[in-house]
Amino acid sequence: MFRKTISPLWLVFFLLPQLASAEDLATQKQSPEISQGSIEIEGDSLETLLDRKMKAKGNAILKKGNKTIKADVIEYDEVSEKLITTGNTNIDLESMSLRGSKLTLKLSDETGSMEDASFNFKRGDKEEKSVIKNGTVITKRSYDFRGDAKAIFFEGENKKRLQSGRVTTCEADSDDWYLKSSNMEVNTKTDRVNASNAIVEFKGLPVLYTPYINFSLNKNRKSGFLATTFGTTTKSGFDLQIPYYFNISPNMDATVTARYLGKRGPQADGEFRYLEENYSGKNQIQFMKHDEESGKDNRYLVRLEHQHKLNNGWSASYNYQKVSDDAYFSDLATMIQVTSVVNLPQRANINYAGDTWKFNALTEKYQTLTDASNSPYQRLPQLDLSGRKDLDSYILDFKSQWAYFDRDEKFTSTYTDAQKVTGSRLTITPGITVPFTETYGYIKPKLSANVRSYNLNNSSIGNKDILTPIVSVDSGMYFDRTVNLLNQNFTNTLEPRLFYVYIPYKDQSALPNFDTGLADLNMQTLFSENQYNGQDRINDANQLTASVTSKFIDKNGKERLSGIVAQRYYFEDRRIFGADLDAKKANSDIFMGGTARLANSMNLDAMFQYDPTSSKFLRSTLSSRYNPEPGKMLNLSYRMIDNVSDNTQDLKVFNAAGQWPLGNRFYSIGRYNYDLKTSQTIEILGGIEYDGGCWVARTIFDRISLPTSPQPNYTFFVQLELNGLGAIGSDANKLNNFLYRNVPGARNVNQIPDVNRQANFN
């Protein structure tokens, strides 16, 4: 092997008119490090021609800076700085390697061409990234691109143009899919590709054509088509959705989806998102010119959301949602969470949050999609002011609200007399707490007063003022010890708690009910002063809530077992509740709960409400979760409600959901939701995903019972995702969001770490 180094200043002294000798090679090996502008040539034999050209034969190598060119034969002209190779040629660049049969390249301006070329893009960011989504750790992966071309034209240091080129993320021995283009440009500085007249082929069949596409070679967001979804639904027939993602800037993007419904016709769906340091938002518009199934014209959905952080603790936001007609969601949506929407908010608010004071100004209306019974009051406007000051020996707090309540004129003719009442309401609640806290326990007595003042329309009482004092004392103690279970030491805690409340009875039967409802009595509301949500009702109370909590904590500080028992004791009959509750009971039901973390992959939870008078369990919630590794997950739950006063509110529901590998690259995913009381299926979701390595195919079947229709809706979707081409932006894909909501903890195959994916290949 012979080597020559050509320096720009001393080039003439190295271009000797004879073959390089072994002494030359030895001298060169001992020379200092090659300068950045130097060119090094190696080969089994070297010769110079006409004092300006050098030719290396056999294992020829030319190096300049970060470029390495290998070929059977390399000819280099030092005057024009042009090189020509013949035979197998390899170019090794910083972010790209190329192979071809012949290369012509001018080193000074990096222009030239390579014939019959293939290439690989090098990646410095292959490591998997993890983010948290809906409480689940999701793996984000980058993919390696490779491809080939009839010819590659070098048009500068970072720009390459491919003639009749194609790219893929499949392994070298797999040609499952390719993106082909007659004209493709690659920028190795930005790692971006622009292609015109592009066709995506899958298994040799064209599945997508686009006149232009721009995408990234790394994990960064890119413009281009997302995974196409197609399927069928009972109400709309064949459903095809083709989304295109626009990466406008690092903090701004948009997705435009062309949707075709077989029974209804075409629909356009556009979503625009932006994120700045002080504000963010998301806007969505759906539009259908004509619905062939219903005969309705100009059906639309508008959803506008914005949050803005102002200066000095101030912020503002708005949320405006509107549809063209009441049946929009039941006709066009496919998810039960959307089809069950009754009220669409239309609100704007301004907030202030300081160290002591908080203020909120809100104006809020709703578009109600059903009848008047589901139409909430409009707040035009509502003003909230609250404050809290922690002093050395006591805590002062203040809450106030003024609101004007109005009605939607759409339902004026159907309102009852009580529903027609409108007007303003002012509530003020000052309070003082004097806490006594130690490491072993606490006592927190509190005194407050609620003042309500009404100025009403369409009401016989007109104006009304009412004052209600409230006294409460919260107390608890902490005990702990070390116990040994199964040859492991645990810290066992015992935490008794007593919570006393006194509120005198005030007749509120004549007051309107603008925004108030009775909250369920549960483990949380047992320790609240007022069991009503909202400001129109305050219950009378002379009661004590007692509870005991015990926990087992391991040496790492992780809670392995815990349990709680709580009950409320009434010292007087309650009068304000009327028929809402059994007001003469001396004690409440007994509430019990427990959790177990038996292993890192198994969680068990249980909650019970027991009526000692009837010796019946009125509520039971049992759930378990098994998640030994990513891609393996099983959730089982049972929920029962036995409402003695209203059998229509009884509930017995069983739910099973999960994801599990089936082997041979297949994954299963599903959910089964069944109403045991009515012996009816609420929802069945089933799906199969196939991991093709460089692509994923999934089919999803869903059957849901619609609240607005006696007949269930059936949905069937098929999706093909090409890794690296259709993966970026998949969070915006509605099918994936649909899976996350219905099967919490489930992962897209491409979000499962490689070590777990490969275990399912056999």
Distance between CA 367 and CA 381 in Å, rounded?
A: 17
127 and 24, same structural domain? no
Q: What is the DSSP letter of 477?
A: E
Query: Measured between alpha carbons, how far is residue 499 from residues 31, 230, 331, 419 in Å?
Result: 86, 57, 50, 36
Q: Which residues contact 666 (CB under 8 A, 6 or more apart)?
A: 688, 689, 690, 691, 760
Mean pLDDT check: name the lowest of 156-170, 430-444, 730-744.
730-744
Q: Which residues contact 639 (CB under 8 A, 6 or more apart)?
A: 620, 621, 622, 651, 652, 653, 655
Q: pLDDT tens for residues 69-82?
A: 999 999 998 888 89
Query: What local confidence, expressed as pLDDT, does residue 27 receive?
Result: 39
Interval 733-759 mean pLDDT: 78
Cβ density class 429-447: b for 16+ within 10 Å, e for less: bebebeeeeeeeeeebbbe
Are 275 and 251 spatial neighbours (Cβ–Cβ below 8 Å)?
yes
Are 621 and 596 spatial neighbours (Cβ–Cβ below 8 Å)?
no
Does a structural domain hold residue 512? no
In terms of C-beta density within 10 A (0-12 exposed, 13-18 middle, 19 or more buried), how is residue 189 classed? exposed
Which residue in the block uniquely carries the two structure tokens 């203020």? 359
Query: What local confidence, expressed as pLDDT, does residue 346 receive?
Result: 95
Q: Which two tokens stand for residue 413?
A: 């003719």
Distance between CA 218 and CA 246 in Å, rounded?
A: 16
Distance between CA 715 and CA 705 in Å, rounded?
A: 12
48 and 114, same structural domain? no
Does a structural domain hold residue 192? yes
Question: Pick from 220, 252, 283: which residue ends a domain?
Answer: 220
736 and 602, same structural domain? yes
Mean pLDDT check: name the lowest of 146-150, 215-219, 272-276.
215-219
Q: Which strand (E) or helix (H) includes residue 621?
A: strand 616-629
Instruction: Determine the 3-state secondary structure of 525 from DSSP.
Output: helix
Q: Which residues contact 646 (CB under 8 A, 6 or more apart)?
A: none
CB atoms within 10 A of CB 24: 17
54 and 145, same structural domain? no
Q: pLDDT tens for residues 558-598?
A: 999 999 999 999 998 888 765 445 556 788 899 999 999 98
Which residue in the block uniquely carries the two structure tokens 């609640």? 429
Q: How many domains does the chain have?
A: 3
Mean pLDDT check: name the lowest of 40-44, 559-563, 749-753.
749-753
Distance between CA 617 and CA 619 in Å, rounded?
A: 6
Whether residue 490 is predicted with pLDDT greater than 80 in this model: the reply is yes
Pairing of strands 39-43, 53-64: antiparallel
Q: pLDDT tens for residues 264-304?
A: 999 999 999 999 999 999 999 999 999 999 999 999 999 99
Looking at 65-191, which runs of residues are DSSP E strands? 67-77, 82-92, 96-106, 111-121, 129-133, 136-140, 146-155, 159-168, 177-187
Instruction: Determine the 3-state secondary structure of 647 from DSSP.
Output: helix
142 and 68, same structural domain? no
What confidence category does residue 194 fall into, taking pLDDT thresholds of 50, 70 and 90?
confident
What confidence category does residue 10 fall into, taking pLDDT thresholds of 50, 70 and 90?
very low
Query: What local confidence, expressed as pLDDT, does residue 226 receive?
Result: 72
Whether residue 25 is predicted with pLDDT greater than 60 in this model: the reply is no
Q: Which two tokens stand for residue 678?
A: 């009515």
Question: Pick from 205, 220, 235: which residue ends a domain?
Answer: 220
Residue-wise DSSP of 658-716: EEEEEETTEEEEEEEEEETTTTEEEEEEEEEEEE-SSEEEEEEEEEE--TT-SS-EEEE
Cβ density class 356-371: b for 16+ within 10 Å, e for less: eebbbebbbbbbbbee
Better pLDDT: 333 or 207: 207
Does a structural domain hold residue 381? no
Which residues on neighbouring strands pair with residue 308, listed in sequence order?
A: 279, 316
Whether residue 7 is predicted with pLDDT greater than 50 in this model: the reply is no
117 and 50, same structural domain? no
Q: What are phi and psi of 375, to 5 degrees?
A: -90, 110
Are 471 and 444 spatial neighbours (Cβ–Cβ below 8 Å)?
no
Whether residue 99 is predicted with pLDDT greater than 90 in this model: the reply is yes
Distance between CA 530 and CA 541 in Å, rounded?
A: 9
For the chain, the C-alpha Rg in angstroms (whole number) is 36
502: left (phi over 0), alpha (psi -120 to 50) or beta: beta
Largest CA distance in the chain: 117
Distance between CA 453 and CA 403 in Å, rounded?
A: 11
Whether residue 125 is predicted with pLDDT greater than 90 in this model: the reply is no
Does a structural domain hold residue 170? yes
Closest CA to 572 of 500, 651, 474: 500
Q: Which residues contact 126 (CB under 8 A, 6 or more apart)?
A: 142, 144
Distance between CA 184 and CA 191 in Å, rounded?
A: 13
Instruction: Determine the 3-state secondary structure of 398 from DSSP.
Output: strand
Pairing of strands 666-675, 680-691: antiparallel
Q: Is the peptide bond before 496 cis (omega within 30 degrees of 0)?
A: no
Question: Pick from 186, 220, 254: which residue ends a domain?
Answer: 220
Does a structural domain hold residue 168? yes
What confidence category does residue 110 fall into, taking pLDDT thresholds of 50, 70 and 90?
confident
Which residue in the block uniquely carries the two structure tokens 């106030």? 400
Are 515 and 534 spatial neighbours (Cβ–Cβ below 8 Å)?
yes
What confidence category does residue 428 fall into, taking pLDDT thresholds of 50, 70 and 90?
very high
Whether residue 32 is predicted with pLDDT greater than 80 in this model: the reply is no
Type of residue found at 150: K
Rounded to 5°, the CA angle 590-595-597 comes to 170
Task: Report the chain's mean pLDDT, rounded to a whole number.
Answer: 84
Whether residue 5 is predicted with pLDDT greater than 70 in this model: the reply is no
Whether residue 745 is predicted with pLDDT greater than 90 in this model: the reply is no
Interval 113-120 mean pLDDT: 91
138 and 14, same structural domain? no
Q: pLDDT tens for residues 491-500?
A: 999 999 999 9
Q: What are phi and psi of 287, to 5 degrees?
A: -150, 135
Whether residue 12 is predicted with pLDDT greater than 90 in this model: the reply is no
Distance between CA 374 and CA 371 in Å, rounded?
A: 6
Distance between CA 437 and CA 451 in Å, rounded?
A: 30
Closest CA to 429 of 451, 446, 404, 458: 451
Does a structural domain hold residue 471? no
Does a structural domain hold residue 366? no
Q: Which residues contact 593 (CB under 8 A, 6 or more apart)?
A: 523, 563, 564, 605, 606, 607, 608
What confidence category does residue 9 fall into, taking pLDDT thresholds of 50, 70 and 90?
very low
Does a structural domain hold residue 688? yes
Whether residue 313 is predicted with pLDDT greater than 70 in this model: the reply is yes
Are 119 and 147 spatial neighbours (Cβ–Cβ below 8 Å)?
yes
What confidence category does residue 729 fall into, taking pLDDT thresholds of 50, 70 and 90?
very low
Q: What is the pTM of this model?
A: 0.75
Whether residue 315 is predicted with pLDDT greater than 90 in this model: the reply is yes
Residue-wise DSSP of 266-281: EEEEEEEEEE-SSEEE
CB atoms within 10 A of CB 239: 22
Instruction: Determine the 3-state secondary structure of 221 from DSSP.
Output: coil
Distance between CA 200 and CA 176 in Å, rounded?
A: 11
N residues, the chain:
762
Query: What local confidence, expressed as pLDDT, does residue 220 receive?
Result: 66
99 and 60, same structural domain? no
Instruction: Determine the 3-state secondary structure of 564 from DSSP.
Output: strand
2 and 124, same structural domain? no
74 and 97, same structural domain? no
Closest CA to 141 of 629, 762, 757, 761: 757
Instruction: Determine the 3-state secondary structure of 526 from DSSP.
Output: helix
Distance between CA 209 and CA 288 in Å, rounded?
A: 24
Type of residue found at 136: T
Q: Which two tokens stand for residue 631?
A: 């891609």
194 and 151, same structural domain? yes
Q: Which strand (E) or helix (H) includes residue 27?
A: helix 22-29
The parent domain of residue 741 ranges over 589-762
Closest CA to 534 of 518, 548, 515: 515
703 and 596, same structural domain? yes
What confidence category does residue 530 fall into, taking pLDDT thresholds of 50, 70 and 90?
very high
What CATH number should be reported for the domain holding residue 170? Answer: 2.60.450.10
Interval 524-544 mean pLDDT: 92
Q: Which two tokens stand for residue 48?
A: 């110079």
What confidence category does residue 381 fall into, taking pLDDT thresholds of 50, 70 and 90?
very high
